[in-house]
Structure 1
Amino acid sequence: MGGRALAHVRWIGGGSAAGKSTTAARLAAENGLHLHRTDETMSAHARRCPPRRCPHLRAFAAMSMDERWVHRSPRTMPDTFHWYRGEAFDLVVEDLLDLPADRGVLVEGFRLLPHLVAPLLTGPERAVWLLPTPRFRRAALEARGDLWAIAGRTGDPPRALANLLERDRLFTDRLREQTRRHGLRAIEVDAPLDGQQLAAQVARSLGLRAPTG
């Protein structure tokens, strides 16, 4: 599928806790775009994806919390996490194709992997990836009360948290390398960058109006 079918779509991908959701909501409201959050479709896509197409998803679902986050190394996690491998990305595309094409769409989420999005673009200005530093990610998770949301459900929360943070760092590094390889746009997200400044940078990258105030 070429990019013309999704020429009305702009994409915001990136690492976890980078400000994707908040930034996308602000820009969609300012520019009259339909906002599509891929995080909200994960459960539905997990149900729709058959085992032969999503083997890592099925394996992950069968693990206990400790098997997922305590007993495996952080370097193993990005290679076996289904969304990081692009499983069910075709269902994201199907959802976007089902939306009316007479209105612009802004889609966001960590599932938007550069090498999968690149063939769907009509130009590099249609997509941007937000790459948070470990310092920014941890501060953002703490600020919204999510730092221990997953790790706290394991038998060894400190180790699980350390594994999760390292996994996310490795994933962000992977996104950085992929955007460079495909000539795509990326924004490094670190303190003291605030929400309004980030929205302005993303707006410039995507050719949108930046929200004021």
Structure 2
Amino acid sequence: MRLLRPRGVYAPQEDTELLARAAQDDLRVLGRRLGAEILDIGTGTGALALMAAESGAARVTAVDISWRAVLAARYNARRRGLRVAVRRGDLVAPVAGRRFDLILSNPPYVLSPGPPRPASLSWHAGADGRVVLDRLIADAPALLRDSGVLLVVHSALCGTRQTLERLADRGLTARVELRAFVPFGPVMARHARWLEQRGLIEPGVRKEELVVIRAQRN
């Protein structure tokens, strides 16, 4: 899928593809359910929201804090004739009070030294990679309907067990849905020496494990 991607907006990559694979069965079911609601948090170009709309789901909403991402996602949806409501705001703020059957999120998770710069906001996630992830875990569960599902992708370097435990603390049943090992992208490659110094990767390792976490409200 060719998408408009302005500078500074996250490009769909292996993590996007992995999350899309994990969501296929849920989207197949929700595409046939009357009144199904799907939310994509941190939509970027809108790739996942467009996939959800193509499934036939009744209502798809996408959120991003970046105006460039919002405008790109709106353009990409309009170009394909898909109905996606794209809202600008910080994580769940634009949809507070609503409930969803499925929430998808590919949040910033790259472990990074130093403060973020404007150009790095789409991937910079602090020294532990959890700056955005932990806020998402805290706020997203309240937006799920009964039996609703949250699917979130991140690097295992951020702490897979931490994510599972914190989702369980929020009352959700959580598990690893998919895993994949991928080569470091340009940003991770630049941070490799720093990751080695912190003992997070072995010397010379230039791959990371991505995980998709599935968390469901009972």
Higher strand share: 2
Higher helix share: 1
- Range class of TM-score, shorter chain: 0.3 to 0.5
The two structures have a TM-score, normalised by structure 1, of 0.36
